[in-house]
Amino acid sequence: MNERDQSSGTPQDYFVRAGSLDGYESLVRHFGGNPKTLLAQAGLAQLSTLDPDSLIRYQQLAELLENTALALKVKDFGKQLGLKQGLITLGLIGSYMAQQPTLEAALQIAGRYNRIHAQGVSLVIENHDERHLRLSLQLKVNQKGRYLQLAQLSVALIHNLIAQMLPHHSEQLTLELTPAGQESLTFPKTLLSQTPQCHSNLTNEIIARQFPATATEEGTTPETAELVQHGIRMLLPTGECTKNNIAKLLEIHPKKLERQLKNENTAFRILLEQTRKELAILMMQNGGMTLTQLALNLGYSEFSAFSRGFKGWFGRSPSHHYPQKAQSQPARRSA
C-alpha cells in the first residue's frame, strides 16, 4: 500500500499547495516573531492572499521553516505547525478521506493526492513489529537531511489527520522525531480496518476556509462551479474524479449538482475538461514529470485518452508539444 513518488524532477521542480502553511502566521506570532518579515525573506510575502490551492516550491517552503525555527529558536517549529493542522488544511480532499470506508483507503487516497498537491512526497507504510506499522514520508527535497522542520511538519500533519479520523484511537499513535530527520508515526495494524469519522459540519468548515472572501459576506456561498472545480483539482490524481464522487465530496445529491451547474450555464464535463487543461499547462510549465505521470495526475487511466484530450486542447499531440517527456508506454493507475 506504499505510494512511492515516481517523479523524475530535481528538488527544485517539486511543488506543494500554499495551504501547507495553514496556521503559520499565528504560530510565529505566538512565539513573538514577525511572520510577514520571514515570509518576505522567503519570497512568500503574498502568502495571505494566495488561493490555498496555489502551488509554491517545496524547497521554498522547506527553507522558510528552517529559517523560522532558527529565528524563533524553536527546534520543533515544524512539528508544532503540523499539530495545528488537519483535515481542513487539505481542502475538500480532507472531507473525502474522512468519507472512506477504512483508514487504509483514506491513506491510499492521500498517497495518490500527493502527485499534484505535494509533489516529491512518498507515503510509505511498513511493518514496525508484529502488531504495529510504521508510517514515514520520503521527501525528495530532503534527500540530504537538510530540512528537519519540513520532515517534522509532514509527519505531524499525518498524525493529526489520523487522529481526527479516528478520535477514539488517537492515544495509540506514536509520533517519533529524531535529530537526523527520520520522523515517523507508529500505530497498531488493526487501525487500518477502522472506519473514519466525518463530523457533520466538516465540509462547510472546509468551504469557509477555502473561500474566505465569500464566507465573510453574510448569506452568500461560492458558486457551485467554483466548488466543483476545487473538488476536481483534489480528486483528479486519485483516479476517482467522477460526478458522483464530486457530489459526495460536496455532500449533495448528484441530480442537485447537475441542476445547480445548469443554472450557472455549465456542466460537470465542461468543468472537468477546463480544469484538466489548466493543470496540464501548469504541470508542463513546472516540468520534472513524464507524459505518463502527467496523464495519471490528470485522472486518465489510459495514455490514449490523454492524448486525444491533449489534441483537443492544443491541436497537436502531447509528444509533439512536450517531446523531451514523451513516453510510448500507456499510463495505468496502480490500485
Q: What is the DSSP code (8-state) at residue 222? A: -
CA angle, 117 then 123 then 128, to 5°: 160
Residue identified by cell 527546534 is: 75
Nearest to 275 by CA among 326, 224, 325, 235: 235
The helix/strand/coil state of 109 is helix
Which residue would you say has higher pLDDT here, 181 or 273?
273
Torsion over CA: 9, 11, 15, 16 (sign):
positive
Q: How many CB atoms lie within 10 A of CB 212?
A: 10
pLDDT digits (tens, 9 = 90+) for 196-219: 987 778 888 888 887 765 544 555
Report, at the CATH architecture level, how domain 11-193 is classified: Alpha-Beta Complex (3.90)
* In the chain, domain spans: 11-193, 223-335
The third-level CATH classification (topology) of the domain covering 223-335 is Arc Repressor Mutant, subunit A (1.10.10)
Amino acid in position 260: Q
For residue 124, which phi and psi values (nearest 5 degrees)?
Answer: -120, 125
- Which amino acid is it at 188? P
Residue pLDDT, tens place only, 251-298: 899 999 999 999 999 999 999 999 999 888 877 776 667 788 788 878
Spatial distance between the Cα atoms of 104 and 98, rounded to a whole number of angstroms: 11
Q: With 90 as the cut, is the pLDDT of residue 69 above it?
A: yes
Predicted TM-score (pTM) of this structure:
0.81
Type and span of the H or E element at 132: strand 132-139
